[in-house]
Homo-oligomer: A and B are copies of this chain.
Amino acid sequence: MKKNLKTNTYTNYPLFKGVNQNSINVIMNCFKSVEKEYKKGTYIWHAGDEASYVGIVVKGQVNIVKDDISGDRVIINTAYNPMIFGESYAIAKISEYPVSVQAAVDSKIILIDIDKLMIPCSVGCSFHNKVIKNLVEIIAKKNIKLNGRIECITKKTIKQKLVFYLIDEMKMNEKDEIQIPYNRNELSDYLNVNRSALSRVLSKLEEDGVLIFNKNKFRILDYNKIKEIMEN
């Protein structure tokens, strides 16, 4: 499971923005970080576990999920390379994770010890403070994303939630055809709607010529109708 982290480059990771590879290597050792692989469907951690790590997605995709007593689940957020997850609990000093993290596909994750990350160390880690500053910016952005998430979920109809989500993703990727990181089941968990009801709405939208889709690829055809949907 363990691996020599020095062989990888992490300069493109937001967490290490502005830090050169040599420093990252030092930091990584200083952090006592561990790289692990997770098969699709397995959990990086469960809600209720002791909050000890911040995760970096090296490969694959993880969903931050909340399962409830009645067997329902919501996908609260999704992280893929080069994103991180669990950082808020580190900073807010929460003792137990309130959410679970599950590998959506086979994934490779670096787990960093929370204490090591937050307490600047003495030797060799001159860039540690830089990392902490990066962390702050990441959290602030995630915060804003969560606001958008709430906006999406609170739309009245499935149609509106779906369209809001798709348009939002398209804006972010600056493309009018996007590939979403969810299958239907996951998308319904993300939008917080029933899967079959979602299918029904999707079929209707395609029938009405609003959009076309194939698997997890979506393209908007009629922006006027989209606008109409959102204004309704």
Most central of A140, A147, A155, A231 by chain B CB within 10 Å: A140
Contact with B along A161-202 (1 / 0, CB 8 A): 000000000000000000000000000000010000000000
For the complex, what is the distance from the CA of A109 to the CA of B144, rounded to whole Å?
A: 22
| A149 interface residue (CB < 8 Å to B) | yes
A192 partner residues in chain B, CB cutoff 8 A: 153-154
CB distance from A30 to the nearest CB of B (A): 20
Given contacts A150-B146, A153-B154, contact A136 B230 (CB under 8 A): no
Q: Which of B94, B142, B148, B156 contacts A72 (CB 8 A)?
A: B156
Given contacts A70-B231, A139-B136, contact A99 B147 (CB under 8 A): yes
A70 partner residues in chain B, CB cutoff 8 A: 156, 230-232
Q: Which residue of B lies closest to A189 (CB)?
A: B154
| A151 interface residue (CB < 8 Å to B) | yes
| Interfacial residues, chain A to chain B (CB-CB below 8 A) | 66, 68-70, 72, 74, 76, 87-94, 98-99, 135-137, 139-144, 146-151, 153-156, 192, 230-232
Contacts beyond the supplied A69-B230, A72-B154, A76-B151: 19 A-B pairs with Cβ under 8 Å: A66-B150, A66-B151, A70-B230, A74-B151, A76-B150, A89-B140, A91-B136, A92-B144, A93-B137, A99-B147, A135-B136, A139-B139, A139-B140, A146-B147, A149-B150, A150-B150, A150-B153, A153-B153, A153-B192
